[in-house]
Chains A and B, each alone.
Chain A
Amino acid sequence: MDYIDPHIHMVSRTTDDYATLARMGCVAMSEPAFWAGYDRGSVDGFRDYFRQLTDTEPKRAAQYGIQHFTWLCINAKEAENVALSREVIAMIPEFLDCPNVLGIGEIGLNKNTPNEATIFLEHVDLAMKFEQLILIHTPHLEDKYQGTRMILDMLCGDSRVTPDRVLVDHVEEHTIREVLDRGFWAGMTLYPVTKCTPERAVDMIEQTGGERLLANSAGDWGPSKPTAVPDLIFEMRRRGLPESLIRKVVYDNPIEFFSKSKQFTFQRRA
């Protein structure tokens, strides 16, 4: 089955991973900007990173027939450096017209601090001024519930934000309902230890019906599995769920959400 991984960090993966993903049915992916494992020291560090996301990775993906899209921001972890964050936010418009850019992301909170919230609001303002989609990172572990509620408060507190133009990622059992009930799209991240297994993700699909719901691997430089979405497909089939529902979650829903960006020029396989 063709599928789309809507959240994967291919800058951290080898070319062999592109080959494996292609063989497993991945036809497109979107890659949000994230933390590199260390704090970058200058706006030029981010400018080079955005060149990698908008130029290098699309070419690497295309060698394997995968269409690569991306999102730009300074992540919540580095938002503690407010001065640098503002320089990066001011620089982002240089890249917004690149053909594979879908919007601003993954923005959000990490430890739910005042500086993180300040920079989050400034990213949202940028997205609204440039009519961009938004991809949200919700915090991990004990910070997730509090941080998700805070993020939803900020989004719902801005009258310019349309919930169905925002994808809230890393939802789990205690956050998914509020995200969907408020009209946002929700992404489940299949990630060892800190997020969600394919089995629990399928439980959530069964309980919510799969409307406005996506699944991703978030494959990155940490313990993660870039082929986690095929694992989800396998678990759904094992439970006897309809192919139409599987396709909705891993293919139709990403296309419907991403199509809200005029730069989503996805070509279906003939």
Chain B
Amino acid sequence: MTPEGKTITERTGDLIIEESFLEVRAKLLEVAATLDRIDRASNETQLSESANEQRALLQQAIEIVRSSSSERATELQHLFSREYKSDWRQTFGL
């Protein structure tokens, strides 16, 4: 981080897209194909409650990826995290 609070990379957005476009395209295709596979299988057998919850989480994750946030990775991590409660020590009796 620079003293001005900017990140230290000097690479441009153009360069990063050029480097990563095919890789990201492939990852998105994997996500799409996996969701298709789930849907095809779900036509035959209903998803269980826990699988449904996980499927919904994936949908929420996709919404985060679609957003214009500059902290998408951090937001995804929080989506997939258990909640922290500051009074946990009282709950545990510690």
CB within 8 Å of B: which residues of A? 112, 114, 117-118, 121, 141-146, 149-150, 153, 172-174, 200, 203, 206-209, 239-241, 245
Contact = CB atoms under 8 A, between A and B. Distances in A.
Contacts, number: 56
Nearest to B9: A206
Given A150-B88, A239-B11, A209 B77 contact: no
B80 A208 contact: no
12 contacts: A112-B82, A114-B92, A117-B92, A117-B94, A118-B94, A142-B80, A145-B77, A146-B81, A150-B84, A173-B73, A174-B78, A206-B8
Dominant secondary structure at the B interface: loop
B1 interface: yes
Nearest to A144: B81
A117 B10 CA distance: 43
B81 A145 contact: yes
Nearest to B10: A240
B8 A145 contact: no
A89 B92 CA distance: 22
Contacts of A206: 7-9
B13 interface: no
B77 to A, nearest CB: 4
Contacts of B82: 112, 142-143, 145-146
A149 B85 CA distance: 9
B40 interface: no
Interface string B65-90: 00000000110011011111010110
A207 B1 contact: yes
A84 to B, nearest CB: 20
Nearest to A200: B73
A143 B84 CA distance: 9
Contacts of B10: 240
Contacts of B77: 144-145, 172-174
Contacts of B7: 206-207
B74 A174 contact: yes
A141 B9 CA distance: 28
A240 B94 contact: no
Nearest to B23: A199
